[in-house]
Amino acid sequence: MLFEKTSAPLRALNLPTPVPGPNQLLMRVHACAVCRTDLHVVDGELTQPKLPLIPGHEIVGAVADLGDGVNRFKVGDRVGVPWLGWTCGECAYCKSGKENLCDHAKFTGYTLDGGYAEYAVADQRFCFPIPKSYSDAEAAPLLCAGLIGYRSLVKAGNGKRLGIYGFGAAAHIVAQVASYQQREIYAFTRPGGDEAKKFAMNLGAVWAGGSNELAPEKLDAAIIFAPAGELVPQALKAVRKGGTVVCGGIHMSDIPAFPYSILWEERSICSVANLTRRDGEEFMALAPKVPVRTEVETFPLEEANEALHRLRAGKIQGAAVLVNALASL
């Protein structure tokens, strides 16, 4: 499914099967989750995609062929491919354990072709083994919603009372991890989003309300997954002195001006960008222990446009996942 220009639907077409280069593996794609970032790409809010582009960066599949030098996987292994697709290993960020900020990083489904396809190539160094307890479709959302959610949770610190704004794919995973860590989840959903509130409560939230409300208790930290800048001042009002507001998305509408008093008393705001391989290893080890259960709605690959449309409209509960019907053949 090919992205060629903003405001045109993805186009289904047959392309030659890609050939794995040095250090790359070829995978038969079984499932690829649909991330909000994919919407930011096709809607033109992320402005530097390779073109034409195969979107998708939460890929689960089976290794079908190996390029030169591949030693971490063999043909038939099940692997997952995340957003971080390549880093230089040489810049100051790479050398200081912050490869998520690499000056020259390449990103799956953005500056590299991704997983809205039957086959994909990926650099073996950035692929993860998938825990056995997950099906292909269940595992796919772990690769971004899970990983970025996990990185956001770590950034939020160890406080007990955690607010989550935007109860979509990342939140539904983070809530389970946070509950496992004995924290209390306060879920903030679109005003009037009764289904989302119910969903949050079913996943262990102790309170659910509209994003324009305040929780009954001051929060230790809040994570914002919804791409709406007006949530930043809302979240600052919801956290206690010294509390942290983490912006977990790659894109957000402008943050409106707000009085300094809601930031004062050592509250802080930070963002999360990308992931490191270490995040991936930690989260993939943790997920089966919780165990994180992903709620997925599957679509055949050729219905990628419909999946994107439903995500944009806020009509996906949990995560949308594209599946290849013929994958097991």
CB proximity list for 315: less than 8 A, separation 6 or greater: none
149/233 with CB nearer Zn ion: 149
Token pair 């990926």 is found at: 122
The per-residue DSSP string of 81-127 comes to E-SEEE--S-SHHHHTT-GGG-TT-EEBTTTB--SSSSEEEEEGGG-
Report the largest interatomic distance among the alpha carbons of the chain, rounded to a whole angstrom.
61
Whether 166 contacts 196, CB under 8 Å: no
> Which of 35, 60, 196, 219 touches Zn ion (CB under 5 A)?
35
**What is the closest distance, in whole angstroms, from the C-beta atom of residue 84 to Zn ion in the complex?**
10
**What is the closest distance, in whole angstroms, from the C-beta atom of residue 41 to Zn ion in the complex?**
10
Other beta carbons within 10 angstroms of residue 76's beta carbon come to 9
Count of positions on this chain that bind Zn ion (CB under 5 A): 8
**What is the closest distance, in whole angstroms, from the C-beta atom of residue 82 to Zn ion in the complex?**
8
Contact pattern from residue 121 through residue 150 relative to Zn ion, giving x for each residue in contact according to CB under 5 A and a dash for the rest: -----------------------x------
Q: How far apart (Å, rounded) are the C-alpha atoms in residues 56 and 183?
A: 32
Question: What does the block give as tokens for 133?
Answer: 């307890």
> Which of 24, 37, 189, 324 touches Zn ion (CB under 5 A)?
37
For residue 174, state whether it binds Zn ion (rule: CB under 5 A). Answer: no
For residue 102, state whether it binds Zn ion (rule: CB under 5 A). Answer: yes
Question: What does the block give as tokens for 135?
Answer: 């099906």
31/238 with CB nearer Zn ion: 31
The piece of 32-40, 70-78, 112-120, 186-194 that touches Zn ion (CB under 5 A) is 32-40
For residue 91, state whether it binds Zn ion (rule: CB under 5 A). Answer: yes
In 3-state terms, what secondary structure has residue 27? strand
For residue 211, state whether it binds Zn ion (rule: CB under 5 A). Answer: no
256-315 residues in contact with Zn ion (CB under 5 A) are: none
For residue 94, state whether it binds Zn ion (rule: CB under 5 A). Answer: yes
* Cross-strand bridge partners of residue 184: 161
**What is the closest distance, in whole angstroms, from the C-beta atom of residue 59 to Zn ion in the complex?**
11
Residues contributing to the site for Zn ion (CB under 5 A): 35, 37, 87-88, 91, 94, 102, 144
